[in-house]
Amino acid sequence: MPPQITREGILSEMDRLQKVSTAQIKGRLSATLREMNTGKLEEAVDIITYIRAGWGLDETPYPIQVFLLKIIYGLPLDEEQVLDYLPARAVDENSKERALSKDIIIWNKFRDQEVGRYTEVDFLEMLNAEGRCTLTYEQHLKRLGRKMNMVIMRMGRRGGKTTLSQWITAYEIYRLTRIYSPQDHYGTRKDQPVRITLVATSEDQARQLLAPARAAIQRAPILRQFLDLPDSQDQIRLNTQRNIDMGISASAAGIKVAANACSARSLRGPANIMVLLEEYGFFNSELKSSGRSSNKSDREIYKAVAPSTGDFRIPGTDHPDSMIMVVSTPQSKESHMYELETFIREGRIEDDAVAFWIPTYWINYSYPSSQFRREYLIDPLGFIQEYEAEYPDNVQSAFSEQALERCRVEPCGEYGVVQKGESTWMGVDLGLKNDGTTTSIVATNSTGESRLIHHEVIRMGLQGYADYVERNLSGDMMDYLSIEKIAKRIEFLWTYYGCQGGVYDQWNAYGLQSHLTGRCREALLHVEFNSTNNDRVARHALSVINQRRVIIYANIEDWKNEESLIWELAHLERIETAGAAPRIRLQATNIQGRHDDQYSSLSRALWAAKVGVEDNTPGMSSITPVHQRLAASLRARVEAARQARGQTHGRTIPNRGIRRF
């Protein structure tokens, strides 16, 4: 007998058929959408086209920027003369035809004299011959169509490092949105986003890297449709076309652009198609000699991110389609960045790697020549590192003999005399036993130009030192100087020259203040010269001497006198320290008998003058925040000193048998 047909059975069968039909319809719709959208997603254009296109970034890269991007993405180089790359503002209208004869122009360090013109092929050959690019033209031809897996861009300050990295980041985002499902394309997990990670020395700097990427997405309709809101300061989320069709959130399996500060722990784990290490040379260095490991060290960060790029390969090949990009000004040969460059040059990293070395004045057309000259005059050694992008030796000479000779003037009638319109400032380096006490007084005018009008050293063994030696109850000389006698000498000089302010090191001068009286006790400030303050004072001294903004009275014979100020300055070492906040310090060479106390006192006097005259802020509150009470008292006393300034004019001070230079 046929089964009995009931009302309930009919309704149940209808429900079942409806569910089957709905699932079939959804399946067919999804397949159709995938087919339609796969054809709708146009293939990605090359990065140069994308940057220039109005629908893309709508930017005009400089000729060298075009060249660098072609090398990184394996695009053909131009062998012939190209006429449309040079920005109009860089063309000499009186010789426009000659100016456009080749598209890459090389300038001297001040960017006021042309030194060469190249096609892109010629330029690559020149860079490789000079050690500025690790890639040869033959190697470039063999890898056309493939982007680099590792890029080290060592470039000078204001050399467009951030611009290049932002363009590449925006292009990688655009390229991923041209793939229907990046997870399927690369064979990665469907429930994990494809990431681009931007790493900088701090959270704020990392977030700043996201801003241009966010702006590029929002102004380009081709990208804006994939944006998944809301985003945050630390990340941008984008959907893929597959997720849009399937109604899946980008947070689950889309594209994520994340900003991170340099921390190895926070960078481990996620797969990255691109990692940007911005100013990698200034990450905290893990010194080779120390063997210490740090979560924030450059090496640990690299070890955390390098494996994350291994999942992305060009389908059907073993060629990587990911990138680790290091963009930085050089800091130290102890840095991991220097080691990576060395590995690339020696061929110890796979052939999909390149290292560039480009100075600022080649790539930045808008930076004025006068600014280059000014920076060079202020600090020639710093210019080599900051703008020429050369790795400094860890130890360098602080001052050139040429710079010191420009400042040196033979002692004359004006030496030791305070001129009208000048104010006087003191710097002290106190030493009682193993080193001497040096006192420097500079006279500074309203424009910040100084003259060293008094400089003396009290040191064991020098002429006149016996007057300042501590004696026991029997009257015998001890082997150290008397802090009480030193204090009286400092007070005498302070009063004689009418000093308005000054500084000494509170660490090495413990107890000096208790022996000072009157105005000197409050206006001569004891400052902790830590690495930050030493860096400030050293950079100012470099600037003043290299620009000849100080006159140093010294005889020509002092160049041969190892006890003289000019000799000591010529033999100082300039020490570069790496890290997120790099510092410099100037100190005596590590040779027995060498000193740096004369430099210390002079540099402190010059700094006191800068704060008191150039910055128009009496006292040293800008160098240390703990002297507010002293600064308030000093302001009142400075005003009184200004009214009595005429009393110091025309006076000189006797030698007293102490070594003066």
- The reported pLDDT for the residue numbered 93 is 46
Please state, in angstroms and as integers, the Cα–Cα distance from residue 496 to each residue in 166, 184, 358, 374, 659, following that order: 60, 83, 54, 37, 18
Q: What's the rounded Cα separation, in Å, for the pair 275 and 268?
A: 12
| Of the ranges 194-203, 233-242, 437-446, 648-657, the best mean pLDDT one | 437-446
Q: Determine contact, residues 186/321, Cβ cutoff 8 Å.
A: yes
- The reported pLDDT for the residue numbered 63 is 86
- The reported pLDDT for the residue numbered 464 is 63
Assess whether pLDDT exceeds 80 at residue 42. Answer: no
Assess whether pLDDT exceeds 60 at residue 358. Answer: yes
3-state DSSP percent of the chain in helix, strand and coil, to 5: 40, 20, 40
- Once rounded to an integer, what is the mean pLDDT over residues 622-633? 43
Is residue 136 exposed (0-12), middle (13-18) or buried (19+ Cβ within 10 Å)? middle
- The reported pLDDT for the residue numbered 550 is 92
Assess whether pLDDT exceeds 70 at residue 4. Answer: no
- The reported pLDDT for the residue numbered 425 is 93
Q: Determine contact, residues 298/334, Cβ cutoff 8 Å.
A: no
Q: What's the rounded Cα separation, in Å, for the pair 210 and 529?
A: 37
Place of tokens 């709905």: 22
User: Which is more confidently placed, 4 or 625?
Assistant: 4
- Once rounded to an integer, what is the mean pLDDT over residues 518-527? 80
Assess whether pLDDT exceeds 60 at residue 261. Answer: yes
- The reported pLDDT for the residue numbered 452 is 94
Q: Parallel, antiparallel, or unpaired for β 450-458 and 437-444?
A: antiparallel
Q: Determine contact, residues 469/477, Cβ cutoff 8 Å.
A: yes
Q: Determine contact, residues 325/153, Cβ cutoff 8 Å.
A: yes
Q: Determine contact, residues 576/396, Cβ cutoff 8 Å.
A: yes
**H/E element holding 275?**
strand 272-278
Q: What are phi and psi of 575, to 5 degrees?
A: -100, 125
Confidence of residue 92 (pLDDT cuts 50, 70, 90): very low
Tokens coding 422: 């000048």
Q: Determine contact, residues 449/559, Cβ cutoff 8 Å.
A: no
- The SS3 call for residue 438 is strand
Confidence of residue 253 (pLDDT cuts 50, 70, 90): confident
Q: Determine contact, residues 212/170, Cβ cutoff 8 Å.
A: yes
User: Which is more confidently placed, 233 or 510?
Assistant: 233
Confidence of residue 99 (pLDDT cuts 50, 70, 90): very low
Assess whether pLDDT exceeds 90 at residue 158. Answer: no
Assess whether pLDDT exceeds 90 at residue 377. Answer: no
Place of tokens 């796969």: 38
Assess whether pLDDT exceeds 60 at residue 81. Answer: no
User: Which is more confidently placed, 589 or 284?
Assistant: 589
User: Which is more confidently placed, 119 or 27?
Assistant: 119
| Of the ranges 276-285, 489-498, 528-537, the best mean pLDDT one | 489-498
Assess whether pLDDT exceeds 70 at residue 58. Answer: yes
CB atoms closer than 10 angstroms to residue 486: 21
- Once rounded to an integer, what is the mean pLDDT over residues 61-88? 76
How far does the chain reach from its first CA to its final CA, in angstroms?
128
- Once rounded to an integer, what is the mean pLDDT over residues 212-241? 76
Could you tell me what percent of the chain has a pLDDT over 70? Answer: 73
Assess whether pLDDT exceeds 70 at residue 549. Answer: yes
- Once rounded to an integer, what is the mean pLDDT over residues 28-47? 59
pTM of the complete model beyond 0.85:
no
User: Which is more confidently placed, 648 or 22?
Assistant: 22
- The reported pLDDT for the residue numbered 647 is 41
Confidence of residue 41 (pLDDT cuts 50, 70, 90): low
Q: What's the rounded Cα separation, in Å, for the pair 114 and 175?
A: 38
- The reported pLDDT for the residue numbered 607 is 92
Domains, in order of start, for the chain: 146-378 (3.40.50.300), 395-660 (3.30.420.240)
Assess whether pLDDT exceeds 70 at residue 275. Answer: yes
Assess whether pLDDT exceeds 90 at residue 35. Answer: no
Please report the DSSP string for 317-357 in residue order. SS-B--EEEEEE----TTSHHHHHHHHHHTT-S-SSEEEEE
Could you tell me what percent of the chain has a pLDDT over 90? Answer: 8
Assess whether pLDDT exceeds 70 at residue 237. Answer: yes
Of the listed ranges 70-74, 139-143, 310-314, the one predicted with least confidence: 310-314
Q: Side-chain half-sphere of 382: how many Cα atoms within 13 Å?
A: 23
Question: Using one digit for the tens of pLDDT, what is the confidence trace for 450-496?
Answer: 999 999 988 766 666 667 777 766 666 676 777 888 888 888 899 89
- Once rounded to an integer, what is the mean pLDDT over residues 184-208? 77
Place of tokens 């690299």: 302
